[in-house]
A and B are shown apart, each in its own frame.
Chain A
């Protein structure tokens, strides 16, 4: 594991080299949720709640999804695709080092730094909106919240890895990445709480892994998920399923791979 730790440290150094990007990424990540909060607060001017979500819930929901992105999210499918196309994965086939895991570890550097950067901003938001906030989180759910966050991160990571290794067959994987991002926004609850979306979207989301990445952990954090254990169990099923799919695609991909470049 030491090699991955050093890779993480070198990624941190690389991020410090381009500090402005960190700050700019934070702005990019915050604008979308901020606008969503504005929209819902304007809707709430004419009613006290929408689908059980009050003013406080909307503020906390988008705050948690923004911060949750730095814990659970990221994006490393494209670097994996590039590594396969360029032959960079050859070394991982000859050495005890996984390029896929390496890319995932590298991704954690900016996430950690962005998380640290965003904490003062979140504290400021919480302070400014303190009068309208109401927390319904039950501390006894904390262990399940942590497990569900880890589960969400694993589902997210496996989806990224699966999309990345499709580069064994496809010269361009970005359309799949785009589609995954779109589905994550819609069915993962980043656009709006899934329970507020049209019924057809809610039904589809039950059978796909996306809602278990962000929406369900955030629902637990908001105290809006009465069955957190069930959520964690479903996350476990998706993790196993995605891992099996990943392994099958990886094996099939290696059979096809010609190892040019690197």
Chain B
């Protein structure tokens, strides 16, 4: 176990350096990303302003609470993109053998295939998006102050990290279908689209959609649960339920990955 952790640490550190060097080699791409990616937040800000131009309270959230909700979503989403997007996005071409690393080569390495093939690369272009998220959280809290204990803030931070892991499992689940269907080019877009469902209050989804998005595949928990912890609307011990939910999703996703890897016919070699 200790050896595995050490090799993982070395791999992540090396990739971190390589991705930083790549960033320095193509700075224009980085700066374009830094400027353009956060612009998408403008859409949601306009939407919040439009909705709250009509109502004072939307599904239990005031306007500035909604800013905190969207800021939290943006924070979680940006962290997921920074830490998990690159490897999972490249999986499509790796399975086809179009990438410099084919999946076949990766499977031969003496390390867990899921960890090696789907984690350990970084995309720093989303840092600005993360900053926008933090800015929106601060703006919402300043305009509509809430009483918050240190415990609330700690549990909020932990639930944000859990939500990032939840986003990873979601993308992994989508990309694992690559082993079962032909060239799935839409994986990344599907991930971003499904993620976006998490930026709205949970009560938006009712009936079968509520069951699907709040319980079966609880993407709505990604931002709503951390915000509920922050505002003290949810007792801290509910964090345990959140951990179990994410753990179960992670376990099932891993089973799906392992089963799919066994069925993989290695057509790219």
Contact = CB atoms under 8 A, between A and B. Distances in A.
Contacts of A28: 186, 189-190, 193
Interface stretch (B108-116, B141-149, B176-184, B229-237): B176-184
Contacts, number: 86
Contacts of A38: 204-205
Nearest to B31: A175
A39 interface: yes
A18 B183 CA distance: 7
Contact of B204 (A39, A172, A191): A39
A120 to B, nearest CB: 20
Interface residues of A, number: 34
A195 to B, nearest CB: 10
Given A18-B185, A21-B185, A191-B43, A46 B32 contact: no
Interface residues of B, number: 36
A46 B54 CA distance: 10
Interface in B2-48: 28-29, 32-33, 35-37, 39-40, 42-43, 46-47
A182 B39 contact: yes
| Chain B contact surface mostly | helix
B144 to A, nearest CB: 20
B53 interface: yes
A196 B54 CA distance: 9
Interface string A185-228: 11000011000111001000000000000000000000000000
Interface string A24-38: 110110011001001
Contact of B28 (A43, A171, A185): A171
A26 to B, nearest CB: 10
A220 B238 CA distance: 50
Given A18-B183, A21-B183, A24-B186, A35 B36 contact: no
A125 to B, nearest CB: 14
A39 B186 contact: no
B50 interface: yes
A204 to B, nearest CB: 11
A128 to B, nearest CB: 12
B200 interface: yes
Interface of B: 28-29, 32-33, 35-37, 39-40, 42-43, 46-47, 49-51, 53-55, 58-59, 181-186, 189-190, 193-194, 196-197, 200, 204-205
15 contacts: A19-B182, A20-B182, A21-B185, A24-B184, A24-B190, A27-B193, A38-B205, A43-B55, A172-B29, A178-B37, A182-B40, A182-B43, A186-B46, A191-B43, A197-B46
